Chain A
Amino acid sequence: AQSVTQLDSQVPVFEEAPVELRCNYSSSVSVYLFWYVQYPNQGLQLLLKYLSGSTLVESINGFEAEFNKSQTSFHLRKPSVHISDTAEYFCAVSVRRGGGYNKLIFGAGTRLAVHP
């Protein structure tokens, strides 16, 4: 079975400071990896994903994540956060398996709170 661990339930940070949100996963088979963001009372928005190829993936709003197979991690980073980045961030995996596309398995989420 697969599982996702987000080690920090809350991360407070000051505006313009760097941030890292940690995500580790457990799986005996290959997975796709995703980060989603949820603003209050809204649905999930895809932030970035790793499917194959380069292990460093970037989003359009300055976030990046690096897939590390040996450490089974997919940590999310941003060099300088804004107040508007305050939200809940979810790491998720889905199993690569022939014959179709599978459910997402989510971590418990990390609440990023950016303070002025």
Chain B
Amino acid sequence: GEEVAQTPKHLVRGEGQKAKLYCAPIKGHSYVFWYQQVLKNEFKFLISFQNENVFDETGMPKERFSAKCLPNSPCSLEIQATKLEDSAVYFCASSRRETQYFGPGTRLLVL
């Protein structure tokens, strides 16, 4: 597609439940990035992929967060055992080269 697609738009989870977010990059883009935007507008980088390979995972809280980009499937970001502080908007971006294009985000609310 011509735009980055993210599903769902909204997700509500009880503390301790699992959350799974999906991202379909723009066709032909080999890089996928995940960012977390918290209440004060701060963007935190989580992880990036080059095709199905992890490119940079320096931002991932590895104990509860995991991500995948498999061929012919949307990329996914999974949070096991969500915590209140995971409440945020999660953005996916894709790129062919240096310029990243963002999806509309998934708003996660952990109660």
Contact = CB atoms under 8 A, between A and B. Distances in A.
A42 interface: yes
Given A42-B104, A43-B103, A43-B104, A100 B55 contact: yes
A104 to B, nearest CB: 6
Nearest to A31: B98
Nearest to A104: B100
A107 B61 CA distance: 21
Nearest to A109: B41
A36 B93 CA distance: 13
A104 B34 CA distance: 10
A44 B33 contact: no
B101 A104 contact: no
Contact of A34 (B4, B33, B40, B99): B99
A103 B56 contact: yes
B105 interface: yes
Given A42-B104, A43-B103, A104-B100, A90 B95 contact: no
A94 B31 CA distance: 14
Contacts of A104: 33, 35, 43, 45, 93, 100
A46 to B, nearest CB: 7
Chief secondary structure at chain A's binding surface:
strand
Interface size of A as a range: 20 to 34
A44 B91 contact: yes
A101 B45 contact: no
B55 A51 contact: no
Contacts of B56: 102-103
A94 B48 contact: no
10 contacts: A42-B104, A43-B104, A46-B99, A90-B41, A103-B45, A103-B56, A104-B35, A104-B45, A104-B100, A106-B43
Interface of B: 4, 31, 33, 35, 40-43, 45, 48, 50, 55-56, 59, 91, 93, 95, 97-105
Interface of A: 32, 34, 36, 42-46, 49, 51, 88, 90, 92, 94, 96, 100-106, 108-109
